[in-house]
Amino acid sequence: MPLFKRRNIAPYAALFSVLCAIAVTKPSHAQDAGLHNSTKVFSAPADLTWKHWDDPDELERTWKAAIVRVPAGPGRSTRATTEDLERQTAATGQKLPTVIYLHGCSGIWSGTHQRIRFLAENGFLVIAPASLARDVYPRSCNVETREGGLFRGTVVLRKNDAGYAIEKARQLSSVDADNIVLMGFSEGALTTVLFEPQNERQFVRARVAEGWTCHAGWLEYKGVRAREGEPVLTLVGENDPWYQDQWTKGDCTPFLDPENGSRSIVYRDEKLKHRHGLLDVEPVREDVLGFLKEHVDF
| For residue 47, pLDDT beyond 70 | yes
One-letter-per-residue 3-state SS of the chain: CCCCCCCCCHHHHHHHHHHHHHHCCCCCCHHHCCCECCCCCCECHHHCCHHHCCCHHHHHHHHHCCEEEEECCCCCEEEECHHHHHCCCHHHCCCEEEEEEECECCECCHHHHHHHHHHHCCCCEEEECCHHHCCCCECCCECCCCECCCCCCHHHHHHHHHHHHHHHHHCCCCEEEEEEEEEEECHHHHHHHHCCCCCHHHCCCEEEEECCCCCCCCHHHCCCCCCCCCCEEEEEECCCCCCCCCCCCCCCHHHCCHHHCCEEEEECCCCCCCCCCCCCCHHHHHHHHHHHHHHCCC
Task: Determine if the pTM surpasses 0.85.
Answer: yes
pLDDT, average across residues 106-115: 96
Q: What is the pLDDT of residues 122-167, one digit of tens each?
A: 999 999 999 999 999 999 999 888 888 999 999 999 999 999 999 9
